Each structure stands twice: as structure tokens, then as C-alpha cells.
Amino acid sequence: MIPTRRLDLRHDLTPAQLLQCLASGGLAAVPTETVYGLAADATNGDAVARIFEAKGRPTFNPLISHVADLAMAREHALFDETALRLAAHFWPGPLTMVLPLRPGSAIHPLALGGLSTVALRMPQGPLRDAVAALGRPVAAPSANRSGRVSPTDADHVLRTLEGRIGLVVDGGPTAQGLESTIVRAETDRIVLLRPGTITAADLEAATGLPVVRRADGERIDAPGQLLSHYAPHGSVRLNADTPRAEEYWIAFGAAQAAGHPPERVFQLSARGDLREAASRLFAALSAFDSPDIDQIAVATIPTEGLGEAINDRLRRAAADR
């Protein structure tokens, strides 16, 4: 057990505190525009090992390294024209690119899971400021115990990591609520490895290249893309029309749960807005993640645009464990 300090981003945190934590090899949970990240110096093997330990990540699943600017990114990865175009268009922002590792990169092999590629992202907000101050990439998976729901506020981080990390920077709820879109850029196409709030259509519009999904049979690039993930304690039934009496209900759009007890209903977006639903999805799964809740049902969410990422997370939450 280590005491976890919680510092409010606006009122309590001085930039030096976060920098000092990272520079000394410590772990800090820090908000980004997507979810809270569990940050550590990506070039420090001990610090990276502490991430795996705190999360209870069963295998050395590679981590995303966060950069402050394109110059830092290019010290650690090789960018082709498509990757540069994507960076210019979407960074800072919720896009992660899997790129060939630049020989000589100081990112610790443990953060890479032994791969010869590296996942890089330039985030928005206090994490980017901290990376700039540190002057080195910062590894940051989502700040939750492995396999559990990704955190979109500080309470949510503390639920699974209190006593395991030194610092939580409380910046309130995150803006987008789903992890970044992950892509691998190829010469004539973009492979979508994890859908997110930057959609396939956004990627096509920015590059003029077709986006292909990772085919089901294709080798899994990283263990983090295995099916069961984001699991709450109870079972999850998807694409439900209405909840059964015993179920907790994650609703979307016009109420289809007349008479269901309100404390058993979490509305993702009453007006049927996918952006709002994306930002509230993990809060919903987390609200119903309790040993006392056996059965959760989720309304049908459209699959277009942002709905692809929402349905991806829901399928993983519902998968057999």
C-alpha cells in the first residue's frame, strides 16, 4: 500500500508536483481528452514495470507512449507521408499510431511488449504539458486494474487503483470518454486496430485513403485487443429492446423502460446523440459494476460513425470471461 494523493488540477496541483512524480519514476493518474491515463516515464524500465504491477496486467501488453510534439515523436518512430498527414490533422488528439520503432529510441522495451513497433499519441491537456516538462515520452495505459472499465473521472480511478499509485490529478470528467482510435498507416490504406471517436470516415477524409478493419482471422497485434475487456461484475446483454425486470438498464434514446425503477436505469443519451453516449459509456458500466449486480442489459446503439467504437467496447464488456 502506498498513500494515493489526490490533487485538483485547477486548485491544488503545481506543475512541479506532477513532473517530480514522473521524473522520480513514480506513477500518476492524469486526465486526457479520452480517459484517465496511468502515466510513467516510458524510458525508465522500473517505472514502466510499476505500471504493469499496479494494473495487474497479466502479460506485458505494450503501452501507448505519449509525446509532447512531432519532434519528440520522430525521435522514437519512423513516419511516412501518411503518418505525417495523420499527425498534422489529428494531433494533439485522440489518435494513436502504430509506427516502426526508430533504432536507438530510448523507450524501454518493456513498454513496447517486445515489438519492433511503437504506439504513439500526442494527447491534449495536462498529460501533454507533463510530457513536455519531462522532455521524454510518457507511457500511459488507461488508469484502471487490468480488464476493468476504463476511468473517466478521478473517483473511478481510485476505485481500482487507490493505494497502488502515488498521485491522481483530478481534472473532472474527461471530454470524450472512450480511448483513442488506434491505426496502423500503410502506403495505400489505413488499418483500424481500435475504433474510437475519430471515425473511419474522419480518417478517410483526412488522407484520401481507404480504411480497413483488422480482419477477424488476422493475427492479433497486441494482447490488449483480445475480446474480453472492460468487464463489469455482472453479465451484459446487448441490443436489447427493453429490460427484463431483474436487469439494470443502459438506455439510449427515447425511454423504452416504462415502469423500470429509475435507480436501475442509466441513460447514455436521451436525445440519441452518439457523442454524448460515447462520453458516458464507461460511467454507465462503472455505475453498474458491483458484486450486487448480476445482470445488465444495453439498448441497441446504432453502428454508424461513433457507434462503431461504442459497440466495440460493449461487445468486449459482454464477452465470455
- Using CB under 6 A, list all residues that contact ligand TXA: 32, 34-35, 37, 61-64, 94, 96, 98, 115, 117-119, 121, 123, 140-142, 179-180, 182, 193, 221-225
Q: Give the residue at shortest CB distance from ligand TXA.
A: 224
180 labeled binding residue: yes
Interacting partner of 212 out of ligand TXA, Mg ion, none (Cβ under 5 to 8 A depending on kind) = none
Contact call for residues 214 and 192 (beta carbons, < 8 A)? yes
Q: How many binding residues for Mg ion (CB under 5 A)?
A: 1
Place of cell 509506427: 99
121 is in an annotated binding site: yes
The least distance separating ligand TXA from the CB of residue 248, rounded to whole angstroms, comes to: 25
Residue 142 labeled ligand binder: yes
For 34, 59, 64, 237, 308, the CA distances from 112, given in Å and listed in that order, are 21, 12, 8, 35, 27
Q: Tell whether 290 is in a known binding site.
A: no
- Report what 96 binds from ligand TXA, Mg ion, none; CB cut-off 5-8 Å by kind: ligand TXA
Report the residue count for the chain. Answer: 321
Q: Select 179 or 308, whichever has its Cβ closest to Mg ion.
A: 179
CB-based contact 74:136 (threshold 8 Å): no
Q: Annotated binding residue at 264?
A: no
Taken in order 218, 144, 91, 49, is the CA torsion positive or negative?
Answer: negative
Residue 102 DSSP class: P
Q: What is the CA radius of gyration of the chain?
A: 19
Using CB under 5 A, pick the residue from 117, 142, 160, 311 that binds Mg ion: 142
Question: What whole-number distance in Å separates Cα of residue 168 and Cα of residue 155?
Answer: 9
Minimum distance from CB of 29 to ligand TXA (Å)?
9
Closer CB to ligand TXA, 50 or 121, in the complex: 121
Q: What are phi and psi of 55, to 5 degrees?
A: -80, -20
Q: How far is the CB of 67 from ligand TXA (least distance, A)?
A: 11
180 touches Mg ion (CB under 5 A): no
The grid cell for 49 is 514495470
Binding residues for L-threonine: 34, 66, 121, 140, 142, 180
